[in-house]
Chain A
Amino acid sequence: MKTEQLLEEIRDANLTYLLLAQHLIRADKPQALFRLGVSEHVADIIEALSTGQLLKIAGTNMLMCQFRFDDEIVWNLLTSHSEDRSRNMMSGVRAAMLMSDQLAEAA
C-alpha cells in the first residue's frame, strides 16, 4: 500500500514537472533553458513529446527532475536567511550568479 502511494506521488510530480517544462519551452525557449537548466537538445525532445508519451514517462518509479546543484556553496546561499536585508540581498545575488554561470559552463 505504502509503495503504491509513493509511486503515485512520484507519477504526479513527474507529470506536473514535465507539463510545466513543456509549457515553459513552448512559451519561450531561451528563457526556459535558463529556468530549467537543460540543454537545447533536451528541450527540443521535451517539446516534441505527445501527451501519451508524457504519461508513459511520468509513470516510471523514478523522478524525472533532479536537484540542480552538487555545490554546497549554492545550497548554503539559498538557505541562509538573516535579519539584515542587505545580507539577504547579497546572498541572493551571489546564488543567482553562481547558478547561471554553472549552467552556462555545462551547456
Chain B
Amino acid sequence: MAGKSVIDDAREVRRATELVELGARLQVLETETKLSRERLLRLYKEVKGKSPPKGLLPFSTDWFVTWMPNIHASLFMSIYSNLIKSSELDDVDAITKAYRLYLEHCGTHDMEVVLSMTRAWRLVKFVDAGMLRRCPCTRCAVRFVMRSDDLANQFVCGLCNVPSRAGKTNAARAEREQRDELVVH
C-alpha cells in the first residue's frame, strides 16, 4: 500500500490493541480500525493468546432495557456523554475511555461487570442510530436508556421502581449464604 502513513498505522494498531484488551470482539475492531482482517486476527491472537470467538454480535436492543443491564448501560451512557460533551474525542476513544471509567466504578463499588466492551460499543451505535435514547425518569430525573419508540412521559426508572425479584439470582443467593455462614462460625 503506497503512501500509507506509518504513524497512522501505528495509531490504528495501538487503538486495536486497546480494544482487544478491553474485550472487544473482532467485528468491533473491523468497524473501528482501518486494519485488514488478517492483521486484526493476528493481533487478536497475539494479545489474547487464542482465536476470537465466532458468531454474530448480539443485535437486539432488548438486552439493554432489562433491569440490571439497563442500570449498567445507563451508567455507561452518562459517563460517555459526559466525555463527549467536555472534550473533543473520536467515538472510539470516547467509548474506550468511558468503558475504563465504568470498569473503575464497578471495581470501587464492588459491582459485577455486566456490560461488556462489545455491548458498550453496540449501545453507542444504537443510540447514534436513534434506536435507543436517554430519557429522564419522571421520579428521580436521572436519565436512563430506553427504546426510542417507548413512551417517555410516564417513564419510571429501574432504580425508583425495583422489580420484586430483582437481584435475586442464584449467584446472589449463594453469596448471601456464604456470608451468613461466616457470621455463624
Contact = CB atoms under 8 A, between A and B. Distances in A.
A14 to B, nearest CB: 24
Interface residues of A, number: 24
A46 B101 CA distance: 22
A104 B84 CA distance: 9
A101 B87 contact: no
B113 interface: no
Contact of B78 (A89, A92, A100): A100
Contacts of B172: 86
B contact face: mostly helix, strand, loop, or mixed: helix
B78, B100, B159, B162, most chain A CB atoms within 10 A: B78
A101 B89 contact: no
B85 A107 contact: yes
Contact count band on B: 20 to 34
A88 B109 CA distance: 8
Contacts of A92: 105, 109, 111
A88 B159 CA distance: 11
A101 B140 contact: no
Given A34-B82, A97-B74, A104-B82, A40 B142 contact: no
A39 interface: yes
A104 B134 CA distance: 14
Contacts of B111: 89, 92-93
Interface string B46-57: 000000000000
A94 B142 contact: yes
A75 to B, nearest CB: 15
20 contacts: A30-B83, A30-B94, A40-B86, A86-B167, A89-B110, A94-B140, A94-B142, A94-B159, A96-B78, A96-B105, A97-B74, A97-B142, A97-B143, A100-B81, A101-B81, A101-B82, A104-B81, A104-B85, A107-B82, A107-B86
